[in-house]
Structure 1
């Protein structure tokens, strides 16, 4: 008997993991506080993950991107590629 079979049904499709949906209502004061917490956490785009992490007390990390750092990294990469081009152009000269 094969005990290492894949988790599929008779049609060969993967079985879905069960998921449960809950809903709740907030009054105006709670809604404002909830939006404030979302803004502080920086996760306005993913409310459901924020709620689940808060309910179960799990740690969540929000990565914020700074546009000035992105520009700095782009310039640094460009600088690196200029040195690489210089090395590639000098390699045939060394062979002579």
Structure 2
């Protein structure tokens, strides 16, 4: 007779977990537990609970999405300013070719006032960006 040397099924673990412990939470405790679990970044609740019971270090992972979002919006705003610059040149050309000098100067004056407002907004954006960078660098270090 032939001996069976091949074993089928799952490979047995070296240190199997055979003891089960159960914990019950009320609603408030469960909410606190879930908050702590989510902040820890552990992949399983059981791993998180074992780490807390045996006194392992509690790590909190925080992701700040405001920085990339701010720069994405800032890039969009910069693109809009470029479009305004292109339109500005086209408007000046059309004013020069289609209107009398007096009418063109009156319209250019209005355009100049609007441009000053845009420059003021641009300076405010630069100031806010510098302030944001300083705050973000201070909190990230």
TM range (shorter): 0.3 to 0.5
> How does the TM-score come out when normalised to structure 2?
0.31
Larger Rg: 2
> How does the TM-score come out when normalised to structure 1?
0.43
